[in-house]
Structure 1
Amino acid sequence: MLAYQFPGQGAQSAGFLHRLPQHPVVTATLDEASQVLGTDVLTLDTPDALRSTVAVQVGLVVAGVATARVLADAQLSPDISAGLSVGAYAAAVSCGALAFPDALRMVHKRAELMETAYPSGYGLAAISGLTERQLETLAANQTKDGLPQVYVGNVNAPRQIVMAGADAALDALIERALAAGARKATRLAVSVPSHCELLGDAADALIDYARNVPFQAPHSVYVGNRGGRPLHTADAIRDDLATNMRYTVRWFDALTVMLEMGAQVVVEAPPGQVLTDIVRDQWPQTKALALSSISPDQWVATVRRRLGPVSGER
């Protein structure tokens, strides 16, 4: 079985849209996105543009959908799709639950709400080497010391956790985590406190917006963020996308489900390869591939080779 995973905010790098394959399907996808949004999407991946949450989130969805379409053009389509945070929108398009133009408009709205709620002073920190429970204890202790509350934003692996909150509180937590034995603790290139109650009001506004967005039942499996479980109805996927900014992303649970369902090859859309590294670290027997790490003209051949005697074609 073939599974796709789509990265979230923090994976972006300058020029990532320009590094997509020189392929007619990519050109058509970029043109479609530009028309829907009323702007040239190839202006969204400059260093200046990437300071904007809107530019980053929209760009990631464009890259994810363009990637899925390149593979679909070669008759490769996923049995399972999942995306971390905003990557879930590309996953919803990939499995047929959401049309690309609607995904673009909803992500643009999502990013605007997040950026407006917290234009500065907040963000995320990734901490490796401590468990969720250990970090919750450290966060609770520093809240008792008078610092703002810090929240568990993502559980990417049992000892790879992303925390969300105010800058000063995150910086203090990084110091405490390193002192407590964390292998690594660093701030991410994200300027909003994603996946916690700080975005509750923004999530409520996106829920209202999403009521008028058409969703369909997926034609292949979609694995959600909030519960890390397969979702089979249009309404369930709408709710997952509209609310995921408010709740912890259970990415490790999502990956576990994908593999339990039989995923043998897990392909990560560009940019980056953090999600691939998680799979390789936690499930070394699984064939995990980050497309950003290979030449675009080798994407199709490499995926087919990893699938082996099972063609993966439909």
Structure 2
Amino acid sequence: MSKAYVFPGQGAQFVGMGKDLYDNSPLAKDLFEKANDILGFRITDVMFNGTDEDLKQTKVTQPAIFLHSVILAKVLGDDFKPDMVAGHSLGELSALVANGTLNFEDGLKLVSQRALAMQKACEAEPSTMAAILGLEDNVVEEVCASIDGIVVAANYNCPGQLVISGAVPAVDAACEKLTEAGAKRALKLPVGGAFHSPLMEPARAELAAAIEATTFNQPACPVYQNVTASAVTDPNEIKKNLVAQLTAPVRWTQTMNQMIADGASSVTEVGPGKVLQGLFKKVDRAFPTESAALETA
């Protein structure tokens, strides 16, 4: 019986996120205030009382989701006992704090640097992402390979749902061709740029230096990383995979299958939303899933 804990990525944010933690836990309040100091602005004001638009800024969104997830895990205390962890894209950094690979402060600094580096890369060239529904992964991969320009498979979310990423003209051309190939939908996403594609190379190079300068500890349990979709415990290997993550695809379908194959008996989603639980249900409808919750009674 192995308990898996998973951590969501960008897109799970909502106004008011984390306020119950702040109001009901002195530990959470202390960590949120520490985060305000580290970031140099009161992210709690945006999280608790901002607008949807405020919260959509990459420099806010990524730290906000990280803080919600990591602080919730810390508040759970002895109830938080993972045998394995994983996180979707940004969520991988939350998972690495949760399993002790990174400390809270270093994790938040890396998330902030990651967000700013990605924002810069997004502004360098018009780029986007699109969700492709209802096709086999190999069909999507083949169509992307046939397009002139940069467009790649970026997020393997679950069977029949793959997100592509790249330059705007190439993504548009791929969407048209994929619709002709029988995709149920080819839906452009409201994102700032081509995450997990070669267009993130400037961000990868910038983040690599920060990751190399950060201490990575021996984790308390394995992390299933996006790049490999397999269990990793060696801190140097974790570093290498985290550097590669910005330009490599998120192999989430493969990660879920591997966690289940390795004995995961249930999964708990830690952070805002229930997206990852839904993806596990697409792999196995009967697989037990739940949200982590703060006990305030």
With the length of structure 1 as denominator, give the TM-score of the two structures.
0.85
Among 129, 133, 136, which residue is 2:134 paired with? 129
Does residue 106 in structure 1 map to residue 110 in structure 2? yes
User: Could you tell me how far 1:70 is from its partner in structure 2?
Assistant: 2.5
User: Could you tell me how far 1:103 is from its partner in structure 2?
Assistant: 0.7
Q: Which aligned pairs between 1:201-280 and structure 2 lie closer than 5 A? A: 201-280=202-281
Q: Verify the 8 A CA contact 1:21 1:297 in the aligned structure 2.
A: no
Q: Verify the 8 A CA contact 2:21 2:29 in the aligned structure 1.
A: no
Q: Which amino acid aligns with 1:29?
A: L
C-alpha separation in 2, matches of 1:67 and 1:182: 38
C-alpha separation in 1, matches of 2:188 and 2:270: 23
- Deviating more after overlay: 15-24 vs 271-280: 15-24
Distance 1:33 1:115, change over 3 A: same
Q: In structure 2, what is the equivalent of residue 170 of structure 1?
A: 171
C-alpha separation in 2, matches of 1:12 and 1:168: 29
Does residue 93 in structure 1 map to residue 94 in structure 2? no
Distance 1:75 1:112, change over 3 A: same
Does residue 115 in structure 1 map to residue 119 in structure 2? yes
C-alpha separation in 2, matches of 1:20 and 1:176: 46
Q: Which amino acid aligns with 1:41?
A: I
Q: Verify the 8 A CA contact 1:98 1:215 in the aligned structure 2.
A: yes
Q: Which amino acid aligns with 1:134?
A: V
Show CA shifts across 1:56-102 (max 9, x none).
11111101101211222x53321111001110000000100001110
Q: In structure 1, what is the equivalent of residue 291 of structure 2?
A: 290
Q: Which amino acid aligns with 2:131?
A: A
Q: Verify the 8 A CA contact 2:129 2:195 in the aligned structure 1.
A: yes
Does residue 152 in structure 1 map to residue 157 in structure 2? no
Q: In structure 2, what is the equivalent of residue 31 of structure 1?
A: 33
Among 127, 137, 145, which residue is 1:140 paired with? 145
Distance 1:18 1:125, change over 3 A: farther
Distance 1:167 1:272, change over 3 A: farther
Q: Verify the 8 A CA contact 1:3 1:80 in the aligned structure 2.
A: yes
User: Could you tell me how far 1:124 is from its partner in structure 2?
Assistant: 1.8
Q: Verify the 8 A CA contact 1:206 1:243 in the aligned structure 2.
A: no
Counting matched residue pairs gives: 291
CA RMSD of aligned residues (A): 2.2
C-alpha separation in 2, matches of 1:18 and 1:165: 36
Distance 1:35 1:242, change over 3 A: same
Distance 1:268 1:185, change over 3 A: farther
C-alpha separation in 2, matches of 1:107 and 1:57: 7
User: Could you tell me how far 1:297 is from its partner in structure 2?
Assistant: 4.2
Q: Which amino acid aligns with 1:126?
A: A
Among 78, 88, 99, which residue is 1:84 paired with? 88
User: Could you tell me how far 1:20 is from its partner in structure 2?
Assistant: 4.7
Query: SS of 2:19's equivalent?
Result: coil
User: Could you tell me how far 1:227 is from its partner in structure 2?
Assistant: 0.5
- Deviating more after overlay: 113-122 vs 148-157: 113-122
User: Could you tell me how far 1:257 is from its partner in structure 2?
Assistant: 1.9
Q: Which amino acid aligns with 1:90?
A: S
Does residue 52 in structure 1 map to residue 57 in structure 2? yes
Distance 1:70 1:86, change over 3 A: same
C-alpha separation in 1, matches of 2:17 and 2:178: 32
- Deviating more after overlay: 129-138 vs 164-173: 164-173
Does residue 64 in structure 1 map to residue 69 in structure 2? yes
C-alpha separation in 2, matches of 1:280 and 1:20: 27
With the length of structure 2 as denominator, give the TM-score of the two structures.
0.90
User: Could you tell me how far 1:209 is from its partner in structure 2?
Assistant: 1.7
Distance 1:231 1:107, change over 3 A: same
C-alpha separation in 1, matches of 2:187 and 2:223: 31
User: Could you tell me how far 1:7 is from its partner in structure 2?
Assistant: 0.9
- Consecutive unaligned residues of structure 1, counting only runs of 5 or more, are 301-314
User: Could you tell me how far 1:112 is from its partner in structure 2?
Assistant: 1.0
C-alpha separation in 2, matches of 1:94 and 1:253: 21
Q: In structure 2, what is the equivalent of residue 311 of structure 1?
A: none
C-alpha separation in 2, matches of 1:67 and 1:10: 18
C-alpha separation in 2, matches of 1:240 and 1:2: 23
Q: Verify the 8 A CA contact 1:125 1:163 in the aligned structure 2.
A: yes
- Consecutive unaligned residues of structure 2, counting only runs of 5 or more, are none
Distance 1:189 1:267, change over 3 A: farther
